[in-house]
Amino acid sequence: MASSVISTGNFDPTYPTFLVLASIGIILILLPAYWHFKSRNVGTILYIVWTFIGNLNYLVNAIAWAGNMHSPPWFWCDLSTALIVALK
């Protein structure tokens, strides 16, 4: 009899790639933030905050959901979904 439960025994070999790229994205977003804050460029600062929150959300999702399909973090799932919809 085939099981209908998804097996998490096999991990995705590309798992650390997204985690590393999201971390690099956060660092690259924060590099010009000082100069834009210093010059009071409000539009660019808001865009930096928007993309920082999005990349931070994806970074935490990559950590929280790595091989963890059967016991999801219940509060983070609802918060993350709301953030993803708001960022679109």
Please write the tens of the pLDDT for every residue from 19-34.
Answer: 899 999 999 999 999 9
- Report the pLDDT value the prediction gives residue 33, as an integer from 0 to 100: 94
- pTM of the predicted structure, to 2 decimals: 0.75
| Tokens standing for residue 76 | 């983070």
DSSP one-letter string for 20-51:
HHHHHHHHHHHTTHHHHHHTT-HHHHHHHHHH
